[in-house]
């Protein structure tokens, strides 16, 4: 059996009627009563056919939960009680499955719930369409565009705390699967006048308050703002704070939303800068100043505010100031500059603020579009959501109302067109004859407003562009001439005398009979608002800024692009965008949501009938119902109809096996319903009067009751019988089971008793047998045991005897041995006493020494001559031996060490030893030298071609060759020299060229002097009178001082067999020419590393600064 699904219908449990088309009789009164009844029962949605009427509940209703979304998902429109979700679902499925682009048109007056409705539709679609990371991001961006636009485009008004002050149309784009790809937003006519002035008890746009309340101290400081609303003239103070609205929290939401939508941080900052600048513009005040020529001029009162604005906008202050004081008019080639008076200056200021904000808003919309636009080029399906201002009839209606109402006329027009078209198409499809329907077509009103030659908008444009003085009055005069005869136009001054005496129509007004009622417009401000003038000086000033965003907002300020042509007027711009919108909507399948505001107090549960009646009228809802039920009030597919009413006819109940159309025919014929009440379409039955439908419903209800009784009766009988049969069956089963149970119990008892008796008897028999067997066995065993015991006793007796004999023999041997021992000891005692003591002593000593040497051998330290350790002495009496052994061992290992030396190495060590003797503990430099090997020949003169000549002159083997510093005797300066020492002489040569400077035989050297410090200065003293000593002693410095002097000392010793004197002192004398000069070492800071600094102080003193 197929899964039976409970088919529900809109008609189930209806409060009033869920679809107004079913109202009977249909009057305005019953219509309102129905709405009220439903509203009182929290049913805020009611249909007119496929149109949803939504009455704002002004309270949270639990009908937007995820469960509700699931309930309405994939259900037919009339299956459940009316809900905005049903419409959204229908639209979405039609888009996804039938590939029809959709638009959702939401109308109603301010506060009626349009914006909420549009958000509900969007959130429903978001909930039911595809999922996945990418799709979710698109959804999130689309949804988050709302808070941003609301912050900048919404404001608190008398009617609505969050009123949208702009029209919004959003196309949501989907791919073939129905997953969202992106969107495009269009905005219409922001109410920019609100920026500079708000009606009483209303607020400026939310963003201003949000910024001041929610901006961090740091941000406000950057924007040069103060937190206090009172500081700003543009912020109406009447209701700066709105109940239940947390501006600061909203500011965070907006910033977050901007981030999600994709604004860069610096973009967001730029936007806020413009907002701050607009706010501050309101604080610029002007004062009059009379000029000699009698003209009034204006001056800015406090330039500080202007300065800050210019800083915010990256403006030149002088440029902006000038733009507030002058106006340049250009005509052909001429440029005329006129000064502005105070009123004009204020006008210019406000115009700038309004324009700046309006353009910023448009920029925001474009910027959001850039972020949310679909990334692919594949064909897209589109769902448009239009949230636009509804009809407005105020006490004082101006240009804005005129424009808004014009837009609504257009919407009504396409509503009529599309509804009728749809209705007609259905009739044709179903093959039912189309009867002409009388309805009011508002094309004539649209014509009155938008006709290109004599429409009101065209007249207004013509007036605005005309040379000469143009005022609102001249405009009205013109209207009076051109439109007077129009049947929908009323004016007091029109030549037609119809309204000459109508005192309800003032002279400065005209009245239009809109489809939704008459509206009287005051002409004041029409011309100005249509012109929407911003002095060119201001736009040029704005363009000159280096603030990229502001510059982009005023492209016309670019002198290169300047044109003398006037920008299009506000009216013609709006008309153009409305035309585009209408064209767009006409290509789509429309879905209507008509919002109604139940009271003016924003209060829940209150339903002001007069107010609703007014809205019902101007929304044309009655008209709507009439069109819907023009031919037939109700239509339904045959399947649904048969399913619902098949119980009313015996032939169709419970099953009808043939075609559903025939089934319905049989059903209706049997019910004797008059034939004119029906038409049979191809797939649907059309019912002319709601009354008939309700009769059917009544019959169904009664029949259902009967059926219920019948079902109940049969069910009860069946239940009782089933119960009885069950009882009977159970009883039999139970008794069978009981009997079986008792028999079984008895049998088991008998069985166990038998087994018990059996086992006792078997046990007794077995024990008897066992006893007999045991006795037999014991008799056999006892004989063997007795024999064994007897043999044992005999054997033990023999053993005892043998043991006794052996013990006696042994005792005799022991006693004999003792006796012999005693005899021998007595004999030898006398010999033993003479020698044994010494022998034992020597033996002991020998053992000890042997042990000592063996252990020492094991513990000997390493062979290194520098090793100092020696094992501890084991016995006190070996003290001297131990020390001696240590000394001998040391000498031996030193010898071993020396024996390894080659001759060359011995020489090196001798040299090192010599150096040690000469300098150790005497000169501080010595310690450094210990580690340095003494190479001697550092220059390898023989191999260096540069020193060829020098090499030639040396002849002998080189002992040492190195570069040293020679100290000038006269001034203490240093010069690099080659120092070569051979066996018999030393040579001083130029370091660069190798040119020999002096050759001194070593025999001429008497002594050498050095300091005690770490420096490398040394003096070589020469024999007085020798040729070498002509100029005096030599002073050198070298890092290898120790090596040089050691080698010199040894060379001289080998040559002369004499040891020269090496003087180590911090003060010594040298012989320079004829003078004896004292070389004195002093401690001081060092400039050039380790090199000593020498300074010739006077004739007698040369000071050497050492570290
Ligand atoms: N379906 C609804 N459920 C609960 N409150 C609603 C609903 N529709 C509107 N409202 C309330 O009415 C206020 C005005 O609605 P809004 O959509 O902003 O009006 P409009 O856009 O038509 O001017 C909202 O702020 C909200 O408090
Ligand atoms: Mg709104």
Phi, psi of 978 (to 5 degrees): -90, 130
Question: Is 392 considered catalytic here?
Answer: yes
Q: Give the distance, in angstroms, between the CA of residue 608 and the centroid of all CA atoms in the same chain.
A: 49
Pocket test for ligand 1, best of 56, 595, 597 (most atoms within 8 A of CB): 56
The candidate with the shortest Cα–Cα distance to 38, out of 15, 20, 65, is: 15
- Cβ atoms within 10 Å of 840's Cβ, excluding its own: 10
Q: Which ligand is nearest to the CA of 244?
A: 1
Catalytic residue among 20, 118, 145, 160: 160
- pLDDT at 326 (0 to 100): 87
- pLDDT at 375 (0 to 100): 86
Tell which atom from ligand 1 comes closest to the C-alpha of 119. 17
Kindly report the protein residue whose alpha carbon is nearest to atom 15 of ligand 1: 113
Q: Provide the token pair at 156.
A: 């608190």
Tell which atom from ligand 1 comes closest to the C-alpha of 118. 17
- pLDDT at 440 (0 to 100): 74
Question: Is 294 considered catalytic here?
Answer: no
- Cβ atoms within 10 Å of 899's Cβ, excluding its own: 7
Tell which atom from ligand 1 comes closest to the C-alpha of 44. 1
> Hey, is 969 helix, strand or coil?
coil
Element (H, E) at 500: none
Q: Which ligand is nearest to the CA of 112?
A: 1
What are the residue ranges in the chain where pLDDT is below 70? Answer: 1-7, 238-239, 292, 331-332, 437-438, 493-498, 563-564, 631, 832-834, 1085-1090
Q: Are 111 and 159 in contact (CB under 8 A)?
A: yes
Q: Are 438 and 631 in contact (CB under 8 A)?
A: no
Question: Is 1007 considered catalytic here?
Answer: no
CA dist 58 → 109, 116, 160, 275, 1091 (Å): 15, 11, 11, 32, 99
CA dist 1031 → 692, 953, 955, 1068, 1075 (Å): 150, 22, 25, 18, 10
Catalytic residue among 9, 46, 81, 164: 164
- pLDDT at 1087 (0 to 100): 62
pTM of the prediction?
0.63
Q: What distance in angstroms lies between residue 823's CA and the mean position of ligand 1's atoms?
A: 144
Using CB atoms within 10 A of its CB, is residue 915 exposed (0-12), middle (13-18) or buried (19+)? buried
Catalytic residue among 46, 115, 965, 1038: 115
- pLDDT at 701 (0 to 100): 85
Question: Is 366 considered catalytic here?
Answer: no
Pocket test for ligand 1, best of 113, 124, 155 (most atoms within 8 A of CB): 113
Q: How many CA atoms lie within 13 A of 444 on its CB side?
A: 12
Q: Are 555 and 561 in contact (CB under 8 A)?
A: yes
Q: What distance in angstroms lies between residue 286's CA and the mean position of ligand 1's atoms?
A: 42
Catalytic residue among 9, 110, 408, 491: 110
Phi, psi of 485 (to 5 degrees): -85, -5
Q: Which ligand is nearest to the CA of 161?
A: 1
- pLDDT at 681 (0 to 100): 87
Q: Are 998 and 1028 in contact (CB under 8 A)?
A: yes
Cα separation of 50 and 627, whole Å?
12
- pLDDT at 222 (0 to 100): 95
Pocket test for ligand 1, best of 52, 160, 242 (most atoms within 8 A of CB): 160
Q: Provide the token pair at 1058.
A: 């004499």
Catalytic residue among 167, 390, 631, 972: 390
Q: What distance in angstroms lies between residue 114's CA and the mean position of ligand 2's atoms?
A: 5
- Residues touching ligand 1 (Cβ under 6 Å) are 56-58, 60-61, 108, 110-116, 160, 162-164, 595
Phi, psi of 52 (to 5 degrees): -105, 125
Catalytic residue among 33, 392, 477, 609: 392
Q: Provide the token pair at 718.
A: 């069946």
Question: Is 1032 considered catalytic here?
Answer: no
- pLDDT at 1100 (0 to 100): 83
Kindly report the protein residue whose alpha carbon is nearest to atom 25 of ligand 1: 162
CA dist 944 → 938, 941, 962, 965, 982 (Å): 11, 5, 13, 20, 18
Q: Which ligand is nearest to the CA of 165?
A: 2
Question: Is 160 considered catalytic here?
Answer: yes
CA angle 807, 812, 815 (to 5 degrees): 120
Residues flanking ion ligand 2, Cβ below 5 Å: 114-115, 164
Q: What distance in angstroms lies between residue 45's CA and the mean position of ligand 1's atoms?
A: 14
- pLDDT at 1 (0 to 100): 34
Q: Are 612 and 125 in contact (CB under 8 A)?
A: no
Q: What is the DSSP string of 440-482?
A: --THHHHHHHH-TTTSHHHHHHHHHHSSS---HHHHHHHHHHH
């Amino acid at each position: 059996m197929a899964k039976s699904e409970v088919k529900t219908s809109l008609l189930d449990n209806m409060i009033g009627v869920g679809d107004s088309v079913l109202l009977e009789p249909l009057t305005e009164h019953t219509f309102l009563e129905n709405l009220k009844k439903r509203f009182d029962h929290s049913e805020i949605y009611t249909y007119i056919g496929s149109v949803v009427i939504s009455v704002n509940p002004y309270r949270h209703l639990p009908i937007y939960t995820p469960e509700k979304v699931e309930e309405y998902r994939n259900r037919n429109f009339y299956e459940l009680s009316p809900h905005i979700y049903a419409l959204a679902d229908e639209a979405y499925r039609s888009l996804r499955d039938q590939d029809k682009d959709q638009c959702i048109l939401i109308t109603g007056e301010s506060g009626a719930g349009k914006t909420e409705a549009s958000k509900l539709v969007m959130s429903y679609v978001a909930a039911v369409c595809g999922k996945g990371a990418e799709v979710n991001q698109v959804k999130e961006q689309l949804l988050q565009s709302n808070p941003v636009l609301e912050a900048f485009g919404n404001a608190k008004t008398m009617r609505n705390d969050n009123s949208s002050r702009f029209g919004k149309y959003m196309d949501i784009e989907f791919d073939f699967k129905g997953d969202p790809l992106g969107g495009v937003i269009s905005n219409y006519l922001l109410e920019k006048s609100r920026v500079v002035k708000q009606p009483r008890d209303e607020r400026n746009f939310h963003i201003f308050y949000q910024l001041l309340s929610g901006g961090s101290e740091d941000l406000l400081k950057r924007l040069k703002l103060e937190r206090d609303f009172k500081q700003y003239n543009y912020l109406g103070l009447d209701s700066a704070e709105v109940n239940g609205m947390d501006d600061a929290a909203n500011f965070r939401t907006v910033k977050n939303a901007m981030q999600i939508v994709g604004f860069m941080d610096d973009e967001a900052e730029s936007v806020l800068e413009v907002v701050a600048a607009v706010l501050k513009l309101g604080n610029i005040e002007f004062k009059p100043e009379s000029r000699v020529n009698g003209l009034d001029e204006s001056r800015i009162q406090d330039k500080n505010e202007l300065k800050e604005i210019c800083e915010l906008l990256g403006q030149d202050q002088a440029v902006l100031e000038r733009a507030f004081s002058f106006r340049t008019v250009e005509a052909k080639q001429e440029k005329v500059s006129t000064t502005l008076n105070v009123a004009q200056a204020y006008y210019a200021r406000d115009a700038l603020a309004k324009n700046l904000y309006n353009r910023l808003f448009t920029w925001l919309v474009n910027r959001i579009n850039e972020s949310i636009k679909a990334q692919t080029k594949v064909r897209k399906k589109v769902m448009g959501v239009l949230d636009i201002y509804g009809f407005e009839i105020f006490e004082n209606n101006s240009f804005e109302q005129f424009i808004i109402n014009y837009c609504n006329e257009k919407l009504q027009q396409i509503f009529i067109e599309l509804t009728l078209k749809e209705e007609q198409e259905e009739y044709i499809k179903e093959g039912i004859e189309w009867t002409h329907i009388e309805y009011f077509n508002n094309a004539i009103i649209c014509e009155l407003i938008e006709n290109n030659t004599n429409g009101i908008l065209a007249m207004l444009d013509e007036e605005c562009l005309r040379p000469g003085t143009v005022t609102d009055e001249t405009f009205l005069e013109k209207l009076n001439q051109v439109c007077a005869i129009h049947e929908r136009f009323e004016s007091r001054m029109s030549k037609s005398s119809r309204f000459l005496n109508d005192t309800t129509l003032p002279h400065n007004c005209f009245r239009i009979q809109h489809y939704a009622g008459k509206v009287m417009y005051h002409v004041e401000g029409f011309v100005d608002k249509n012109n929407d003038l911003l002095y060119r000086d201001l736009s040029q000033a704005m363009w000159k800024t280096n603030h990229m965003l502001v510059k982009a907002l005023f492209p016309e300020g670019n002198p290169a692009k300047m044109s003398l042509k006037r920008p299009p007027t506000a009216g013609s711009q709006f008309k153009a965008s409305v035309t585009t919108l209408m064209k767009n909507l006409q290509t789509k399948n429309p879905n209507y949501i008509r919002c109604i505001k139940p009271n003016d107090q924003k209060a829940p549960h209150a339903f002001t009938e007069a107010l609703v009646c007014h809205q019902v009228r101007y929304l044309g809802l009655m008209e709507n119902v009439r069109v819907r039920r023009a031919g037939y009030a109700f239509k339904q597919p045959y399947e649904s109809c048969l399913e619902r009413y098949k119980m009313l006819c015996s032939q169709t109940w419970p099953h009808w096996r043939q075609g559903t159309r025939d089934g319905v025919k049989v059903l209706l014929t049997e019910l004797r319903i008059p034939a004119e009440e029906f038409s049979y379409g191809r797939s649907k039955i059309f019912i002319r009067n709601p009354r008939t439908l309700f009769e059917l419903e009544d019959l169904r209800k009664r029949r259902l009751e009967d059926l219920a009784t019948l079902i109940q009766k049969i069910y009860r009988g069946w239940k009782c019988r089933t119960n009885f049969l069950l009882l009977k069956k159970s009883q039999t089963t139970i008794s069978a089971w009981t009997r079986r149970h008792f028999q079984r119990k008895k049998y088991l008892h008998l069985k166990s008793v038998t087994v018990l008796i059996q086992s006792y008897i078997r046990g007794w028999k077995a024990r008897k047998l066992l006893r007999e067997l045991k006795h037999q066995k014991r008799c056999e065993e006892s004989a063997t045991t007795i024999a064994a015991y007897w043999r044992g006793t005999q054997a033990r007796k023999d053993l005892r005897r043998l043991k006794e004999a052996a013990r006696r023999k042994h005792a005799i041997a022991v006693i004999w041995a003792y006796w012999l021992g005693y005899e021998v000891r007595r004999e030898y005692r006398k010999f033993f006493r003479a020698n044994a003591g010494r022998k034992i002593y020597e033996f002991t000593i020998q053992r000890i020494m042997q042990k000592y040497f063996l252990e020492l051998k094991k513990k000997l330290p390493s062979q290194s001559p520098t090793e100092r350790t020696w094992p501890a002495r084991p016995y006190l009496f070996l003290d001297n031996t131990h020390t001696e052994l240590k000394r001998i061992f040391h000498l031996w290992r030193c010898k071993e060490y020396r024996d390894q030396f080659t001759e060359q190495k011995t020489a090196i060590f001798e040299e090192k030893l010599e150096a040690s003797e000469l300098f150790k503990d005497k000169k501080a430099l010595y310690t450094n030298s210990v580690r340095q090997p003494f190479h001697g020949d550092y220059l390898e003169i023989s191999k260096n071609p540069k020193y060829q000549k020098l090499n030639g002159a040396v002849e002998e083997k080189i002992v040492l060759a190195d570069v040293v510093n020679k100290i000038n005797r006269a001034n203490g300066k240093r010069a690099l020299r080659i120092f070569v020492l051979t066996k018999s002489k030393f040579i001083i040569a130029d370091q660069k060229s190798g040119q020999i400077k002096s050759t001194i035989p070593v025999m001429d050297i008497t002594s050498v002097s050095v300091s005690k410090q770490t420096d490398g200065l040394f003096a070589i003293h020469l024999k007085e009178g020798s040729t070498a000593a002509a100029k005096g002693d030599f002073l050198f410095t070298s890092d290898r001082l120790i090596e040089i002097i050691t080698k010199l000392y040894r060379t001289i010793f080998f040559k002369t067999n004499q040891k020269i004197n090496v003087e180590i002192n911090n003060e010594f004398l040298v012989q320079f020419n004829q003078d004896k000069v004292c070389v004195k070492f002093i401690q001081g800071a060092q400039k050039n590393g380790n090199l000593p600094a020498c300074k010739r102080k006077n004739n007698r003193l040369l000071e050497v600064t050492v570290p």
